[in-house]
Amino acid sequence: MDFRLLGRVGAATGAEELQLGPVKRRSVLAALLLKANSAVPVEQLIAALWDDAPPTHARTVVQGHVSRLRALLASAGAGEHGVGLMTQGPSYVFEVPETLLDTCRFERLARRGRLRQRPADAVAVLGEALALWHGPALDGTAPSAPLRAAAQTLEEARLDVVESLAVAYERLGDRAGAVAVLQAEVAAHPLRESLAEALILALYRAGRRSDALDRYHRVRCLLADELGVGPGPGLRSAYETALRGGPVGAGGAGPVDLLPAPGAGPAPVPDARYGADALLLAPAGRPPAPAGPAPRLLPRGVRGFLGRDTELAALDRIAGAGDGAVALVTGPAGVGKTALALQWAHHRQARYPGGTLFADLRGFGGVPAEPAETVREFLIALGVPARDLPDSAAAAAALYRELTARRALLVVLDNVRGTDQVRSLLPSGTGSAVLVTSRIRLSGLIVEELARPVPLDVLGPVPATELLAAAVGEERVAAEPEAADRLARLCDGLPLALRITAAQLAARPRWRLADLAAELADEQRRLALLSLDEAEESGVAAALRITVQGLPPEAVRLFALLGVVPGPDLERYAAAALLGRDPAVAAEALDRLAGAHLVTEYAPGRYSMHDLVRLYARGLGTDEGALLRLLDSYTATALAASLAAEPGEKPCCTLPREAPADAPARTFADRPAALRWYAVERENLAAAVTAARAAGHDDRAWRLAVLQWPYVVWSVRDGWAPLLEQALEASRLLDDPDAESRVRALLGWVLTREGQLSEALAQLELAPALAARAHAPSSEAIALVNLAVALDADGITDTSLRHVTRAVRLAREAQDVLTELLALQHRTRQLLARGDIAAAERCTAYALALDDHGVTTGLGALRRAALRLSRSEALLALGERDAAESCTRQALAEAASQGFQEGVNRARSQLEALGRPVDLPAAPEGGGRPVRS
């Protein structure tokens, strides 16, 4: 799908344009798309439709247009594209991936184009951005004040890109292209001075001085006639440049008569790495400053530095590559980035005879250092007298590049928050090396300067304990090795936390390590203890607070909600549930948090965080509904997984009545994908059940446990009883007989498989009556079969036969074919065990003739395989050996295809008993998981 605001407002699916209808409906769509993926109150939509006082029925009109838009989107299959129009309280949210909205694509292309260093690339990308426009923004909408303001904002953004495109043409040397781009826009916006200024300079650089001067006079007269004002300083400066033949900055040299005289040296040329307006010029009339003595600006290194051999070796490799190498050390707050950088720099600075420069750019605390001021400090260190420092930042940067071109320097830039802080500080000589530290990934530096990242993680148990020993004494640590290990774990291996812990111990010489470990074990006090009384800003919490500052609002909000997450990790759907936003928005927020090392992407799309970070997030306060949204997302996804894992089975439950139908939930392409999800999310789902119980959401707790039944069946002996016992308590508190029956039936089956028959019967004997009370025939049938299985462990009884007979009847009346197959499967085994061969053969013939609606995977296929094996036994007992072999081979193929190892083993045994060769078919790729027997 495609949604357009840059021109006539519209929407299309492929080549088919959606018929939006009247102007007001088009205006509602525009107002929603302008705030895509955000809640838009009805009052704002009313304001967008009526410029004057709205009619009394305005709300009804808006609701009608929203309803028609929903129907139109549904008919176009919008849901398949991730598009939906949702109601959120008194507001509406238009959910749409940013790639489907032309304003988002335009913004992204504009940003990319401005970052392109090669002029040709910039021209191509910016031109692509402008090609998205097909007329005035928001064309075809109501002329209301909000929509007019939005259209003007979009037009301003377009004009900014036009001006950037003109600059790119200039850098490319295509001055005619720059003139052509600007002339059309100046004609359309004759009073926009920045456009006129750019056109005057472009005409002048193209050798059309008279046209440039004429353009200025026309604009000056127009400003005076229309607005009663004179030209601004920028426009006057452009006129003076054209009039006097002065230098023209970014555009390069002017007309031929302005080129330098012979012998005056090369003309200034732009250095694209530092921006188009940075010229490699010394200050006017001043020769380049002479090279001064080699500066050594490194501060003292950190005492007690240990380990990090891998990272030090990585820095050696990067620096050894030469060609102005840039190494980027990244990691979370307090992990020791500065310590590593100083350790390496102190031991390697002798390799750089030109000197060592160091600057703390204070990107994560205090007032960030201005790059221009740092350049001036570096120039003084390089021997430039203060009185000779250039006046402008651009000239200072140019002089810095000139001086560093002939030196082999080591430049260490600490605490960098953004690539912009770094660009003007990079030396230009290929023999130099740069070492940057940051809590942020700084992708721009990697892309633009080919910086090589060196990620720094927390210390492992051994080096963490060694750091404690170095700080408090080896004897003290050796006396309490277990307490030392516990302290290292409680500090998450974070060097800052370990050093503060050591300081706490040094200040309390009578304390044992175990005493402080006991204090730190209290989660309510841990962060407070990991700060120094006299330097609160140096503690772990302060470091995390500073890291969070400056992140985008959505990332900050998500971080504050991470304390709600009960499990060890999360992915974008869980994050989307916490935020109440689209998974794409959540994924971007997670990526920003990972870029700031507040969470760790330990596997593609899966994020975890250290305990100290979790504790800090938990203390930020949270949205009270976040946990419930997360539980509903897990429940909706588990329901989808159960349906995908066992197609044809009736759902064991539905979503709670008050749960939103649009909770963020995964979809599953097939059964293996669903089973993989269960395996990956098992710890999170178990933690969610516990959290739901603690918060009083028992209706979610039992569902989250029971909805895992497909995975329970295929991994039965993996210790499911504690989880199901929590679910049982939740169902009892709800006084929900069907829920209690479901839980008891599953728990009893698990206990039966684990050999705990008395405990199993205690659960299973109550389950059928509860299901009958709830008028749930499928639940009652399953409970009766599970009860019969437990009873038959000590031999077939009349009671268990009656249970299975009733289960068959209940399933048949409920038209629940797969549950009927389950009951018939056990009925057949009972008949075989009693020696009633003819009845067993008739039972299997009837069962295998049932229409299971083409279910070929999961438990349906498994039950058919088991029934075929029982039928084979009956046929063999009746003397029909060929028919028995054929039936066994069919069962073998089905069992192997599903990974039903117990069935495979039975089939092989039966073929061996028949004296037939056993050719085991290969299980198809993505087949089922073997049952543990």
**pLDDT, tens digit (0-9, with 9 covering 90-100), for 474-505:** 888 888 889 889 998 998 888 888 888 888 88
Pairing of strands 91-95, 84-88: antiparallel
**What's the pLDDT at 459?**
86
Please measure the distance between the N-terminal and C-terminal CA atoms of the chain and give it in whole angstroms.
50
So what's the pLDDT on residue 30? 95
Which residue type does 223 have?
L
Q: Cβ distance 92 to 59 under 8 Å?
A: no
Residue 558 and residue 552 in contact, taking contact as beta carbons nearer than 8 Å: no
Given a cut of 50, is residue 283 above it in pLDDT?
Answer: no
| Alpha helix stretches (DSSP H) within 330-453 | 337-348, 371-381, 393-404, 443-449
74-82 average pLDDT score:
87
- Which residues are paired to 532 by β-bridges? 535
Query: Is it the case that residue 252 has pLDDT exceeding 60?
Result: no
pLDDT tens readout for residues 444-461: 899 888 999 999 888 888
pLDDT at 856: 62
Residue corresponding to tokens 């300079």: 201
Q: Please state the φ and ψ torsions of residue 95, each to the nearest 5 degrees.
A: -85, 125
Q: pLDDT at position 272, please?
A: 29
User: Can you spell out the DSSP letters for 632-668?
Assistant: HHHHHHHHHHHHHHSTTSPPS----TTS-TT------
Q: Residue 854: its pLDDT value, please?
A: 60
Mean of pLDDT values over 720-738: 94
pLDDT at 931 over 50: no
Confidence of residue 586 (pLDDT cuts 50, 70, 90): very high
Edge to edge, the sheet with strand 16-17 lists: 2-4, 10-13, 16-17
Residue 928: per-residue pLDDT: 43
Over pLDDT 70: what percentage of the chain?
91
Q: Mean pLDDT, to the nearest integer, of 401-406? A: 89
505 is written with which tokens? 């111990």
Pairwise pLDDT comparison (15 vs 608), residue with the higher score: 608
- How far is Cα 563 from Cα 566, in angstroms, rounded to an integer? 8
| Residues 354 and 407: beta-carbon distance below 8 Å | yes
**CA–CA dist 90, 255 (Å, integer):** 63
Q: What are the tens digits of pLDDT across the range 799-825? A: 999 999 999 999 999 988 889 989 998
Confidence of residue 255 (pLDDT cuts 50, 70, 90): very low
3-class state of residue 263 by DSSP: coil
At 366 the pLDDT is 65
Distance CA 56, CA 58 (A): 6
- pTM, 2 dp: 0.60
Angle at Cα 735 formed by Cα 731 and Cα 739, nearest 5°? 40
